[in-house]
Amino acid sequence: MTFAQFQDVQPTVSLKLTPQQPFKPPLHFSRDSAGVVQHQEPEPWLLLEPGEVRWMEVRLSHRWGTPLTLRLKLVDPHGGLRELSCFKGWRIEDDLYDDPGDESDESYELELPDAVAANEAQLHYLVFKIPQDFFSALCHRDVESAPLSLNYPLELQVWVMGGLTAAEDAGNSQLVQLVRFNVALRPECRYVNFLPRVYQEQDFLRRFLAILEESFHPSWDIHQTFWAYLDPKLAPKALLPFLAHWVGWKLDPRLDERRNRNLISEAVKLYRWRGTKRGLELCLELYTGLPSQAIEIRQQIRKGFILGETLFGEEEAELGAAAIQPYYFEVILRPDANQALDDEDAQLAQLAQLVRHVIDEYKPAFCQYKLFIQPRRAGTNRR
């Protein structure tokens, strides 16, 4: 005996759908034979936005006396949703937040592995996702192609597998429940989030605000990221002369864009430490791109009056100010020799010319110096 043979003993299966992102389309009314306007109970609607994972919660239970083997089937009557490949399959709560990927799931049916006991509620989820560039890619559609629909009606069916007893043919099945719902594809609308909750699910307001958002939001984005236009490391290249003039800095055409950006960013700090050892080290680091470990500035101090034993010809003992060479320092650069290009001598000459210009510009005017460039191999220490 099967369910199909005895309609009066069909089990009562409860099926409730709850959309993760609800959506309210325009209300529909109809008139009965007496001309009275009747409001049609709306079906559940699920809102899909580009790049967002959305799901429809399916709560399933029954009141039959024995456990039932059930099968859930998602039906796309018009086949439009299948063409969009936005259905990502069935999920349970444990793996609901896993990334569904970009591939669609062609398995529209779910056969529950275990029989469902009476009054035992089970939760399953229908997962959907449309690509991030879904609406922007519509401009590449053929103008002669059929218009794209943004609303898709779907059906969720519940089938009972087998007969009333275990001896019955397991191939028999009976449709015992059917619930219709809809999926709406809409572009993201951030302005609607500023409305009271009761208005956020209205389709008309969403579409109306989307027009305003499309017009004004580019200006809003610029306003929100205006701070980046004032950051020398993030600003467009065309703004660098303005930012340099703002802090009284001159762009050096001998340097690449990255070094010029770093110099503009550190200009105020260089002004503060100008004429000091710390400021010169920072300036050389920014101009040459060498790490701080490869730059050394030192003063050579000789011993003065020596008491005790001394070796003639090996130690030089002088008295007074002659023992110390005043206002003199040495700059030692140790660039990585492994990074040298074809003409190493020409590179070192250009580096020496640049460094001398920097030292002459930022050292105290009364100071003398010597420059040493000592290319180093990888793995060698600073000193």
Query: Number of C-alpha atoms within 13 angstroms, CB side, residue 231?
Result: 6
What type of residue is 271?
Y
Q: Is the pLDDT of residue 331 over 70?
A: yes
pLDDT of residue 114: 79
Neighbours of 191 (CB within 10 A): 17
Q: What is the pLDDT of residues 173-232, one digit of tens each?
A: 788 889 999 888 888 777 887 888 778 777 788 788 888 887 887 787 788 888 888 899
Q: Is the pLDDT of residue 11 over 80?
A: no
Q: What is the pLDDT of residues 291-318, one digit of tens each?
A: 888 888 887 665 555 555 555 555 455 5
DSSP letter (8 states) at residue 39: E
Span 340-354, average pLDDT: 69
Q: Is the pLDDT of residue 287 over 70?
A: yes
Q: Is the pLDDT of residue 241 over 90?
A: yes
Span 111-122, average pLDDT: 83
Phi and psi at residue 18, to the nearest 5° = -130, 110
Span 64-77, average pLDDT: 86
* DSSP conformation letters of 315-346: S----GGGGB-TTEEEEEE--BGGG--S-HHH
Biggest CA pair distance of the chain: 129
Helix 277-288 to helix 344-362 angle (10° resolution) is 140
Span 239-256, average pLDDT: 91
Runs of H (alpha helix) within the chain = 80-84, 197-200, 203-224, 226-229, 240-246, 257-265, 267-272, 277-288, 344-362
State the burial class of residue 257 (Cβ atoms within 10 Å of its Cβ: 0-12, 13-18, 19+): exposed
Q: Is the pLDDT of residue 382 over 60?
A: no
Q: Is the pLDDT of residue 243 over 90?
A: yes
Q: How far apart are CA 296 and CA 315, in angstroms?
A: 25
pLDDT of residue 383: 44
Q: What is the model's pTM?
A: 0.51
Q: What is the pLDDT of residues 18-67, one digit of tens each?
A: 888 777 665 555 556 665 545 556 788 888 888 888 888 999 888 887 88
Q: Is the pLDDT of residue 233 over 70?
A: yes
pLDDT of residue 144: 66
